[in-house]
Chain A
Amino acid sequence: MVQPTIEETRLSTKQTIQTYREGARITDVDALVVEDLSVYYETDTGTVKACDDVTFTLKQGERFALVGESGSGKTTLAMALMRLTRPPGHIAKGSVMLNGRDITKLTEDEMRKTRLSELALVPQGAMNSLNPVMRIERQITDGIIDHLEEDDPTPTKVDLQETVRDLLTRVGLRPSVGRLFPHELSGGMKQRVAMAIGISLRPKLIIADEPTSALDVVVQRQIMQTLGRLQEGLDASIMLVGHDMGLVAQFADTIGVMYAGKLVEIGPVEEVFSDPKHPYTKLLIGSLPSLQEKREFLGIPGLPPQLIFLPEGCAFEDRCPSRFEKCQAAIPDLINLGGRREVACHLYEEEAKS
């Protein structure tokens, strides 16, 4: 299981998918297929549908960004993909196919082996996810040792040290950082350590949950660019979870917009930014402050609904500038608008049929 070094492997010639990002290699192989995934929290007052009927596909080598405001269910979804949902939350239905296996059906032990080796999480606020009383090198090798199979040879100390050095260099840190404790590192450095742990077993899917939310712009850019470089080196896919539309525009190939537990729009980043379809996406993109012109602040009026008392129709109905009768009556399904563009809005139903 232990690889002494991570070599940059490249896929053989498989069909690649058109993207706007320079140097991207997205192949037409499904890395992750999520179908009708629902995560519910059972509370005394009722069922909270934090994530409801979410369906999307991630191709190998693709950078998929999941955006939404706090409480829209994006972190719930990310945690469900890692099978880290805590009670009273539970996966109510749906499937998550990762490399041809439905991970919702795996036993706890199989899932344990799958985490880190097939899909890894770079958590939100990595500064708080490291053990304060353990040297960085120990925290990196812990996962590697834990994933050894019974018949694997025990790695020597020298092997492990070499692995740590290699991983730290890869994430842009000096190898000597391995000897330090978390409190001796800056926020950006801790985030880099979290990335080193994340890639230590060469996962094919990296889930990054707001990896830069507490960092300043220059460090944020460095971290995101390092993450992108690592992902390309591993030919892995990335699911970036966050609310910063600017970051998404800079980093991702595909964007999925979540609102009140549902995916309301999916599409290539360039197309969604230049021509958003869902009224919520339109407002979200329209509310971004710009450096080019000074103008009035446009927020989105109103507040998102409470997930425990969802309306019968579309959850965005009461804030939507384009609402009509049907919106109150029925929940819109995700409809395909051609290509990889999908939207869940009644406005486009006619268009999709014709």
Chain B
Amino acid sequence: MSAFLELDHVTKTFGSEGMFGSGSVTVAVDDVSLSIDEDESSITTVAGESGSGKTTLARLLLGSHVPNAGKMLYRGKDFTRLTRRERRNFRREIQPIFQDPFESYNPFYKVDHVLDEPIKNFRLASSGSEKQQMIEDALEMVGLVPEETLGRFPHQLSGGQRQRVMVARALLLKPRVILADEPVSMVDASLRATILDSIRRLNRDLGISVIYITHDLTTAYQISDNIMVMYRGTVVEAGTVDAVIPDPQHPYTKLLIESIPQPDPKNRWGSEPPQQNWDTSDLQIAGCRFADRCPAVMDRCHDTKPAQYLVNDHQLTACLLHEENGEMTDTDITTTFQTEKETIKAIPANS
């Protein structure tokens, strides 16, 4: 087992303390270690609210942010020391899918443009007909009909179709990893299923690892194998979805799960949870960052920073309630993840 991509105690901060300590610092990603395996593919969800650092983590993995501390390794090599060629290869092997299927397109070009461009750029096809074949295959892979899609302008496609064209674009490059940042949050509920389904198929049929960034734990539970929950830059809980979702241990994960609007009118939300206090700078918080909102807060939480504690083989949490379990020696959170693939049920092809 070798790692395709590895984060080793990576921290990313924004802002500075200022000359007289007047500035404010946001610790967007705080000491996170994880690895994405080369051979075993999986779907991993990164969950958390706005400002939890999930998008910053994604940008680190894409190489568009440089960590302030810690190292990122690509196939075992320090990311900052890659040769041009290696870096180019890296850019092909990890592909993003963004949130807004409107903004990813230039409205003046037909949708073919976003599919042509990567092929040209990475010189993937030797002839026009080969290129055409590649595009058609990729579109079919995500459940689109090439004749009904190609030659159209972005505004002529539905949000769901546009987003699936983006999945097809990522697919053309035969990536190892697809990083999908809230791919369905701007799409109608009825179309979400088809997009998530095509993402799941990429993983199952082509062995591509998927990092699925979302705040929607329902879809996360449905499609992913593993999950990491972030709060203000720290990973507060991680493990397999089958361990974490039915039995969350960190109070923040519990809050997230409780807040999901369940489609059951007989089972409504409890009382209104407290709001996040954005006034305190991250550096001023000595203890747990969730302490001010935590229903289970103890005195120690305000001044002791929790480490990562193992709950069971497939679940870890950064909460002092689990301190007696002992600090994890290996801080790589992916050690709790499931690497062996369970058999996934066949999914009917949706239009």
Contacts and interface: CB of A to CB of B under 8 A. Distances in A.
Contacts of A22: 268
Given A217-B215, A222-B273, A289-B218, A299 B194 contact: yes
Interface in A241-284: 243-252, 269-270, 273, 284
B350 A301 contact: yes
A219 B263 contact: no
Nearest to A242: B189
Contacts, number: 132
Nearest to B216: A217
Given A172-B275, A270-B266, A299-B193, A291 B256 contact: no
Contact of A243 (B189, B219, B269): B189
Contact of A299 (B49, B159, B191, B263): B191
B222 interface: yes
A70 B266 contact: no
A269 B266 CA distance: 9
B128 interface: no
Contacts of A289: 193, 218-219, 221-222
The interface residues of chain B, by DSSP majority, are classed as loop
A252 B263 CA distance: 11
B158 interface: yes
Q: Which of the four size classes fits the interface of chain B?
A: 35 or more
Contact of B50 (A219, A226, A270): A219
Contact of A217 (B196, B222, B260): B260
B207 to A, nearest CB: 21
B81 interface: no
A287 interface: yes
Contacts of A250: 261-262, 265, 268-269
Given A291-B221, A291-B245, A297-B196, A215 B50 contact: yes
Interface string B237-268: 00000000100000000011101111111101
A225 interface: yes
B270 to A, nearest CB: 10
Given A172-B275, A217-B259, A301-B350, A287 B193 contact: yes
A221 B261 contact: yes
Contacts of B191: 69, 299
A246 B262 contact: yes
A20 interface: yes
A221 B269 contact: yes
Contact of B265 (A215, A225, A273): A273
A130 to B, nearest CB: 17
A21 interface: yes
A187 B259 contact: no
A245 B189 contact: yes
A21 B265 CA distance: 8
Contacts of B272: 221-222, 225-226, 229
Nearest to A246: B261
B318 interface: no
A290 interface: yes
B347 interface: yes
28 contacts: A22-B268, A172-B275, A186-B51, A186-B278, A215-B50, A217-B49, A217-B215, A219-B49, A221-B259, A221-B273, A224-B261, A225-B272, A243-B189, A244-B261, A246-B261, A249-B262, A250-B268, A270-B266, A287-B189, A289-B222, A290-B218, A291-B257, A296-B348, A297-B194, A297-B347, A299-B190, A299-B191, A301-B350
The 5 nearest A-B residue pairs measured at CB = A246-B261, A297-B193, A216-B215, A299-B193, A221-B259
Given A218-B255, A287-B193, 7 more contacts: A20-B266, A22-B268, A69-B189, A218-B49, A251-B261, A295-B222, A298-B193
Interface of A: 20-22, 69-70, 172, 186-188, 214-222, 224-226, 229, 243-252, 269-270, 273, 284-285, 287-291, 294-303
